[in-house]
Structure 1
Amino acid sequence: MASLLKQHALITGGSRGIGFKIAQKLCGQGCKVTLLSRSKSRLIDTTDYLNESFPLVAGKKHGWVSCDLSDPEHLSERLLSQFEDYKSVNILINCAGQTQQRLLVNTNDATIDAIYKVNLISPTILCHFFSRNMLRQHLENANIVNVSSILAQKYLPGTAVYSASKLALNGLTLSLSQEMNRKGNQIVRVNSILPGLIRETDMGESVNMETMQQYGLDQMTTKAETVANEVLKVVMDSRITGELIQVLAV
């Protein structure tokens, strides 16, 4: 596929960090993007930047929706209320995430609940909502990318709940990819990207090099730009599905 013209991606956590990098990569290929995040002011600023830097044809605009993924109870209803804005979405990027920096014994119930809601429950609801619509609308290049973490496979102290949520997200990816295969025809492609620790993120900044070396993670780092490039590759390559793809190095 040469470009993403006339395609539409919804990116959670798209107003900053990895999600913003991904948005820029997709926009650079002509894709329309809708950013979903909690901060309305940041969403407006980011979307304005995308519309100025990556203008769409025929008066179309990149868009945004403000939503708190730690409160997923009414997520589907929120999307349905603006369904005309989202029914063309053929690419879902679940990039929003909540980190953890405490041992489980020191983590309160509210934090545990929020981590699972942001990292697993809301992505599952979004996969359900958009995969159904992709099937009903017969959308081309229908695919879902879940941004997981190398910590779904490696141990780092103080990340037990975070790691478990990302491991479960990988399980969702593998199962949903199989469910979206109908008699050998992959109707919707589903993949997980597993970035190494990224220094530009809150979690990456909080971990010192000595700890990383102690647990064999000092060679398992990457950059947001590298992750965004890998997401773009997966989105554009129709052969890739049901994969857990580590993204390490720079």
Structure 2
Amino acid sequence: MFRSISKQHALITGGSRGIGATIADTLAKNGIRVTILSQNENLLKSRVQELNEKYPINEERKHDYIAYNLTTSNKIEESIREKYWNQFKDVNILVNCAGKTQKNLLMSTASNEINDIISVNLTSPIVLSKLFIKNAIRMKDITHPFILINIASIVAKSDKHNDLIGASIYTTSKAALVRFTESIRKELEYMGKRKSGGVAEQMSQTGIHVLLPGFVADTAIGESVKVGEGYSIPETSREEIAEDVLTIVKEANHV
């Protein structure tokens, strides 16, 4: 049914640096319009300018950005609808990539820091996923697949080799993100059966994904975490994660 991944639109949270920036670069290089979301507007402007120079599309479909602090997850829906709907309304690929971790044991972690980690890693992806799915379901003509990709972490899996000392909230939030992804896939499968197919069925079959990358050293989170003595968390590069995202998009489009 679908063949080309060009003329599609991806929103990538945490897209101004690290893993998100590499994903944005990879998708843009393959003809996909990208909108990146993070809180540093100056960095966003610089990254978007670079993307438009390296991977131009056309004057009407330029790469863009949304400046938003995901720690204020209670206002995401309102902000998207009131300020950024033009950047969001035709998004058919959502990559929840923004992440935040702590650097201390739980006993030394401030309550506001715990709230910020949960907001960025879990609540924000949930709210953005809700908006994305709700908007997708309203589409009557499916001219391209709708794809949701949540970037979790291998530490979400219970294994003695995956333990991170001083990152208990991060680990918990990523484990919850995995279960959330699995749950919404089932919801969409249920909706697809009730409504005889459509976007819900397509998303339940090819559109809901969670990635569990290993330790990525050259990121802000990678530089801050402390791997426990005697543990050996597998390493993953930013490029490998970006290629996994691209593969998901291609497979959903039957490319």
Counterpart residue number, 2:230: 214
1:155 aligns with 2:198: no
Counterparts in 2 of 1:79 and 1:203: CA distance versus 1, 3 Å: closer
- Backbone CA RMSD of aligned residues: 1.9
1:169 aligns with 2:177: yes
Aligned length: 236
- Tell me, in whole angstroms, the C-alpha distance in 2 between the residues paired with 1:27 and 1:52: 11
Q: Greater strand share, 1 or 2?
A: 1
Aligned match for 1:107, one of 102, 105, 109 = 109
Counterparts in 2 of 1:134 and 1:105: CA distance versus 1, 3 Å: same
Contact between 2:151 and 2:212, CA under 8 Å: does it hold in 1?
yes
Per-residue CA distance 1:133-165 (angstroms, 9 max, x = gap) = 011124421010000011111321111110000
Contact between 1:135 and 1:187, CA under 8 Å: does it hold in 2?
no
Counterpart residue number, 2:202: 187
SS in 2 for 1:180: helix
Per-residue CA distance 1:191-232 (angstroms, 9 max, x = gap) = 111110111012322456xx4561232xx0111111111111
Counterpart residue number, 1:97: 99
Contact between 1:23 and 1:33, CA under 8 Å: does it hold in 2?
yes
Moved beyond 3 Å, runs of 4+:
none
* Consecutive unaligned residues in structure 1, runs of 5 or more: 241-250
Contact between 1:18 and 1:228, CA under 8 Å: does it hold in 2?
yes
Counterpart residue number, 1:233: 247
- Tell me, in whole angstroms, the C-alpha distance in 1 between the residues paired with 2:123 and 2:101: 15
Counterpart residue number, 1:246: none
**How far 1:58 moved relative to its partner?**
5.3
Contact between 1:13 and 1:35, CA under 8 Å: does it hold in 2?
yes
Amino acid at match of 1:214: G
**How far 1:167 moved relative to its partner?**
0.4
- Tell me, in whole angstroms, the C-alpha distance in 2 between the residues paired with 1:200 and 1:129: 31
Contact between 2:149 and 2:209, CA under 8 Å: does it hold in 1?
yes
Contact between 1:5 and 1:30, CA under 8 Å: does it hold in 2?
yes
Amino acid at match of 1:43: L
Greater RCO between the two (CA within 8 Å, min separation 6)?
Answer: 2
Q: Within 5 Å, which residues of 2 pair with 1:77-156?
A: 77-81=78-82, 82-138=84-140, 139=142, 140-153=144-157, 154-156=162-164
Counterparts in 2 of 1:203 and 1:57: CA distance versus 1, 3 Å: closer
* Consecutive unaligned residues in structure 2, runs of 5 or more: none
Q: TM-score, normalised by structure 1?
A: 0.89
- Tell me, in whole angstroms, the C-alpha distance in 2 between the residues paired with 1:207 and 1:112: 15
- Tell me, in whole angstroms, the C-alpha distance in 1 between the residues paired with 2:222 and 2:131: 31
Q: TM-score, normalised by structure 2?
A: 0.87
Contact between 1:152 and 1:166, CA under 8 Å: does it hold in 2?
yes
Amino acid at match of 1:109: S
